[in-house]
Structure 1
Amino acid sequence: MRKGIAISAAAAATVAMTSMAVAPASAAPLRGRGPHGVTIEIATVNGSGCPKDTAAVAVSDDKEAFTVTYSAYTAQAGGNVASTDWRKNCQINMKVHVPQGFTYAIASTDYRGFASLEPGASAVEKASYYFQGMQDTRSISHNLKGTYADNWQFSDVNDVAQLVYKPCGEERNFNINTELRVTKGTDATKTSFISMDSTDGSYKTTYHFAWKRCP
């Protein structure tokens, strides 16, 4: 298991959503505990960062959030690694089943991982998500620069006015796109890497729900 208790890289960014036409949902967003009966099923997983059986999704007991855990999501460059390993990506399409009368948006997202960057090296974590049949959100990128060897965490928080809800009464899968990139350091014989995976499951991406009742 990788060591490094302190999370030394943290950033918050506001995600600007593209304007979309959705069915109205009544009342204010419900943060915190969600309705009973929420389940998530992975429909498809594609990408060099998440080979078969290396990505898993779980809903929290209080239905406030769901997490995506990766076990083979690492981009690396320099040394003897393959020239194609500098960029890894993962696209997950999932079915989020919610009780009748409710809909949801993503209020905030927490990304966690580990990076080891040689002097002169840099790394990027990039992500977006959207409902099937609707426009993609604007991608948000976060950067790290060498020298660096520690856990990292980035958080994206959406303003209430910018929340995009699944249209009420419609079945639409939820899509998540993530990407990791890394460049070589000044000494190209040494390897630098960034990971969004963990042997103990502590490095994961957490998506926090905002709930609303449908009219």
Structure 2
Amino acid sequence: MHLIPATLGLFTGLASAGLIVPSAVAPSSVRVLGVSLLGSGCPAGSADVQIDATKTLLEVTFSTYVVQTGPGTMAADWRKNCKLTINMAYDEGFQFATTGTDMIGFAQIPKGSKGLCTNTFDFTGVSGQSYYQVKLEGEMEGPFKLHSDVDSTSWSQCGGTTAIMNMNTQCNISPTKQQALIAVDRISGKVTVNVSVAWKKC
């Protein structure tokens, strides 16, 4: 794994656009200490994590996450994955959980072919996992924004001021002789996963 620093940023526009509902209570200080990457969809230095001013939205950006099928592609191109280990620090007396995700990117899926992206979240040292799934079915071409709500909730542990959240993301396209791709925004060259976060006092 390769450790890279994560820079904090303000994304109040995303919150006001209705992607999340801010928690009634949240720590006054939340920091992303670092992000480790492992997987075919995220070579070293190709992902970044930022947190918005409300402390209830994480934005994970991938710059080289490309899944494609068609002429000249191999089986390794049809599926990509990335495991991010996000080390977070916050005020004592809180715990948090993921409550939903929004995946934003570009997809070109021909008729008869299907794309699928899954995201799972868990905390190191805590049992339980949050699972999300989004489907892309042909025929479609253009930008997409897919929302998934939580089906099970896993909370970070109480009694500390740091937590390690593991995010596993995977995208694949059913093999086709036609050109198909997923997860690359033609405008920005990136795919973004917005993670809604809820806080509660211990």
* 1:169 counterpart residue number: 159
Determine whether 1:96 maps to 2:88: yes
Q: Distance in 2 between matches of 1:201 and 1:193?
A: 13
Runs of 4+ in 1 over 4 A off after TM superposition: 196-199
Any conservation in 1 of the 2:122–2:130 contact (CA below 8 Å)? no
Q: Distance in 2 between matches of 1:124 and 1:194?
A: 9
* 1:211 counterpart residue number: 199
Q: Distance in 2 between matches of 1:91 and 1:173?
A: 12
Any unmatched runs of 5+ in structure 1?
1-29
Q: RCO greater where, 1 or 2, for CA within 8 Å and sep 6 or more?
A: 1
RMSD: 2.3
* 2:149 counterpart residue number: 157
Any unmatched runs of 5+ in structure 2?
1-21
Say if 1:198 and 1:104 are closer, same or farther in 2 by CA, change over 3 A: farther
Any conservation in 2 of the 1:48–1:90 contact (CA below 8 Å)? yes
Indicate the SS of the match to 2:76.
coil
* 1:193 counterpart residue number: 181
* 1:74 counterpart residue number: 66
Q: Find 1:178's aligned residue among 163, 169, 180.
A: 169
1:74 deviates by 1.3
Q: Distance in 2 between matches of 1:112 and 1:192?
A: 17
Say if 1:33 and 1:64 are closer, same or farther in 2 by CA, change over 3 A: farther
* 1:52 counterpart residue number: 44
* 2:100 counterpart residue number: 108
Aligned-residue sequence identity (percent) comes to 27
Say if 1:201 and 1:63 are closer, same or farther in 2 by CA, change over 3 A: farther
1:62 deviates by 2.1
The one-letter code sitting in structure 1 at the alignment partner of 2:159 is G
1:140 deviates by 3.1
- State which structure, 1 or 2, has the greater radius of gyration over its C-alpha atoms: 1
The one-letter code sitting in structure 1 at the alignment partner of 2:172 is R
Aligned length: 180
